[in-house]
A and B are shown apart, each in its own frame.
Chain A
Amino acid sequence: MVSKLSQLQTELLAALLESGLSKEALIQALDEQGPYLLAGDGPLDKGEACGGGGPGELAELPNGLGEARGSEDETDDDGEDFTPPILKELENLSPEEAAHQKAVVETLLQEDPWRVAKMVKSYLQQHNIPQREVVDTTGLNQSHLSQHLNKGTPMKTQKRAALYTWYVRKQREVAQQFTHAGQGGLIEEPTGDELPTKKGRRNRFKWGPASQQILFQAYERQKNPSKEERETLVEECNRAECIQRGVSPSQAQGLGSNLVTEVRVYNWFANRRKEEAFRHKLAMDTYSGPPPGPGPGPVLPAHSSPGLPPPALSPSKVHGVRYGQPAASEAAEVPSSSGGPLVTVSAALHQVSPTGLEPSHSLLSTEAKLVSATGGPLPPVSTLTALHSLEQTSPGLNQQPQNLIMASLPGVMTIGPGEPASLGPTFTNTGASTLVIGLASTQAQSVPVINSMGSSLTTLQPVQFSQPLHPSYQQPLMPPVQSHVAQSPFMATMAQLQSPHGERPAPHAGEGGDGTWLSMGLSVSRTSVSA
C-alpha cells in the first residue's frame, strides 16, 4: 500500500490521468523510473492510494480509467442507463472527460439528494428541457423522477447516479454552445438532440418565460407584427433565452430545440390573436345573453389575463374543461357545426379560464384542432390551458344564477377536471344529466330529472331535456357540481349546445330541445341556439 499522497501529488496525478494516461502506462513508466515510486500493483491499489487523499474526484479517476472494461462509455452507460448503452464512445470528448464525469457524479451522490435535485431541477427550468428527455436517456420512471425533483421523493443511489450522469453530460451542452459557435462542430453531439442514434427527433419547442414576456410586451404594442418586426423579436427572444442560461447571446444555436424562430413567433402571435377574438366573442355573447348582472363583470375581468383571453371556441372546448380526458374523442365528435350558441357558451366558458394561462398544449390542442375543422371561431390552444387554470382559481366565482354564462363558467371550470371518470359513465346517454345538475340547482324548474344519470343526479332536481345529451360530452360539471349549482343553467346550456354536435343522431334536432332548455329557466333568451 502506498502512503497517503499530498494534495498536490494527488492533483498532479489526477491531471496526468485525466490527460489520457492509462493506469497501465503510468505504472509501466513508474516501474521504469524506479521502484521507490508508488507501487504499481494494480489499478485497485492505485485507486485506493489516490483516493486516500485529495479530492474525491481523484479516487474516481483511477477507477474509471483503470477498469479494463473496454470503452469508457460502457462504464458510463452502465451507470447511467439500465438498458443498453446510450452513448457511444465517440460522444465523450475523451477518456479524461469520461473520468471527470464519473468523478463529478460521485461527488453529487455524496451530497444531500434534495439539494442536488434542486440544482438539477433549476437547470431543467433554466434550459427549458422537457422531463421526457431525461426519462428517455436515463430509463428512469417519469413519475418517480418528477416526484424526486419536485417533492424530494427518495431515489435509490443507482438511479440517482443515472440522473446525475445525465446532468453532467447535459452540461456539455453548455460547452457545446461555446464550441459550436464558431468552430463548427468541435464537439460531435449537438445540444438539442441528445441521441441522434436513438431517436432522430428533437425535443418539442417550448417558450421560455423570458421570451414570453418579450412577446407579450410586443403584443400589447402591436398585435400583428410585420416580418421585420418578427425577426427583431426572434433576435430579442433568443438573446433573452441565452442570457437566462448564462450563455453569450451570440451562441443562440446552442438553444437547440428551443431556439426561437420567425415561424414560431408568427404562430405565437396568430394564436394570441385568436385567443383575443375568442375572448371578445365570449364577452359579446355574455352581454347579449341573459342579463349578465354583476357576474360576468367580475368574472370576466377577473379572468382576463394580459393577453391570454381565449377566443370562443366551439363546443368542443367545453369538453376541454376536463383535462386529460379523452378529449380527442370528444372533440372528434363535436366538430360538427357548432353554431353560435355553442360558441357563445363555450366562449363564456373559456373566457373565464384563460386567465393568463399559457397557451397550453396537451389535450386541448387536439380539441383545438378539431374545432378549427368546424370552421367556427376556434379557441386557441392556449384556451385550454386557461380553462384548466381557471377552474382552479375561480371556484367561487359563480354566484349568480342568472348570469348563466359567466357564472357557469367558473362553475364549469371547477367541476371539470375533477371528475373525468364520473362523467364518462354517467353520460351513458344522458348528456342531460350534466345539465341536470346544473340546472337543477338554479332553476328548480319543472324539469324532470333524467334518472338515467345515476348517482350524480341524485341531488339534482328533475331537469327535462328534450334531447338526450350525448354521453360524449363529458361535462366536467357533473358530479362535483353540487356546490356550484348556480352553474347549472350554464352547464345545461353547454350540454345542450354540445349535443347538437355530437354523434347524437336524432335528437340533434335538438333545436327543439334547446328551446326547452332555454325556456327552462335558464332564462337565457338564446335564440341563437335554436338557430
Chain B
Amino acid sequence: MAGKAHRLSAEERDQLLPNLRAVGWNEVEGRDAVFKQFHFKDFNRAFGFMTRVALQAEKLDHHPEWFNVYNKVHITLSTHECAGLSERDINLAHFIEQVAASMT
C-alpha cells in the first residue's frame, strides 16, 4: 500500500498543498479534500487519461472520486480511512498532474 493513510497535519499541509494549489487543485468547502477539473481535447484523450489514472489508482490502491462528461474530468481526492487528506492523495495528485501534462 503506497503512502500512509494518516490525515495530514497542518505543517504537512503547508508544505505539500501549495504545490498542488499552484497547479490548480483547490480545497473543497465542507470536507477535507482537494478538487480539480481537467479539460481535454476530446473524449478519447479524456478517457485515455482516466485509464492511466485508473491503472495507477489500482496500483496504489487509492481511488479518486471523479466525474466525466465528454472531454472534462472532475476529480476529487480524499482518503476515506482518515476522513481527510493524506499522503496518498498527494501522491495520486502528483501522478495525475504528470499524466495530464503528458496528455496535452
Residues of A within 8 A of B (CB): 7-8, 10-12, 14-16, 18-20, 100, 104, 175, 177-179, 181-183, 186, 247-251
B59: A residues at CB distance < 8 A: 19-20
Residue of B with least CB distance to A103: B102
Contact across chains for A11 and B15 when beta carbons are under 8 A apart: no
- In whole angstroms, what is the CA distance A250 to B20 when docked? 11
Contact across chains for B102 and A15 when beta carbons are under 8 A apart: no
User: B49-60 CB contact bits vs A (8 Å, 1 = yes)?
Assistant: 001100110010
Which of B26-34, B40-48, B63-71, B76-84 participates in binding chain A? B40-48
B22: A residues at CB distance < 8 A: 247-248
User: What's the nearest-Cβ distance from chain B to residue A164, in Å?
Assistant: 14
Contact across chains for B91 and A16 when beta carbons are under 8 A apart: no
User: What's the nearest-Cβ distance from chain A to residue B27, in Å?
Assistant: 15
A-B contact count (CB 8 A): 71
Candidates B19, B23, B97; contact of A181 at CB < 8 Å = B19
Contact across chains for B48 and A15 when beta carbons are under 8 A apart: yes
- In whole angstroms, what is the CA distance A202 to B39 when docked? 38
Tell me whether B21 is interfacial, beta carbon within 8 Å.
yes
Contact across chains for A12 and B16 when beta carbons are under 8 A apart: no
Main secondary structure of the interface of A (DSSP, over half): helix
Residue of A with least CB distance to B15: A182
| Interface CB pairs A-B, < 8 A, 15 | A7-B44, A19-B59, A100-B102, A175-B97, A175-B98, A178-B19, A182-B12, A182-B15, A183-B16, A186-B91, A186-B94, A248-B22, A250-B19, A251-B18, A251-B19
B19: A residues at CB distance < 8 A: 177-178, 181-182, 248, 250-251
Candidates A178, A183, A247; contact of B97 at CB < 8 Å = A178
Candidates B43, B45, B91; contact of A183 at CB < 8 Å = B91
Tell me whether B73 is interfacial, beta carbon within 8 Å.
no
Residues of B within 8 A of A (CB): 12, 14-16, 18-23, 42-45, 47-48, 51-52, 55-56, 59, 87, 90-91, 94, 97-98, 102
- In whole angstroms, what is the CA distance A491 to B22 when docked? 57
User: What's the nearest-Cβ distance from chain A to residue B73, in Å?
Assistant: 13
Task: Say yes or no: A182-B43 contact (C-beta < 8 A), given A16-B55, A19-B55.
Answer: no
User: What's the nearest-Cβ distance from chain B to residue A248, in Å?
Assistant: 3
User: What's the nearest-Cβ distance from chain A to residue B6, in Å?
Assistant: 14
B48: A residues at CB distance < 8 A: 8, 11-12, 14-15
Task: Say yes or no: A248-B21 contact (C-beta < 8 A), given A11-B51, A182-B90, A183-B16.
Answer: yes
Task: Say yes or no: A11-B45 contact (C-beta < 8 A), given A183-B90, A248-B19, A250-B15.
Answer: yes
- In whole angstroms, what is the CA distance A7 to B22 when docked? 32
Contact across chains for B44 and A8 when beta carbons are under 8 A apart: yes
Going nearest first, the 7 A-B pairs with the smallest beta carbon separation are A11-B48, A248-B22, A182-B16, A15-B51, A19-B55, A182-B15, A250-B18
A181: B residues at CB distance < 8 A: 15-16, 18-19
Task: Say yes or no: A8-B47 contact (C-beta < 8 A), given A19-B56, A183-B87, A250-B19.
Answer: yes
- In whole angstroms, what is the CA distance A178 to B22 when docked? 10
B12: A residues at CB distance < 8 A: 182
Residue of A with least CB distance to B54: A15
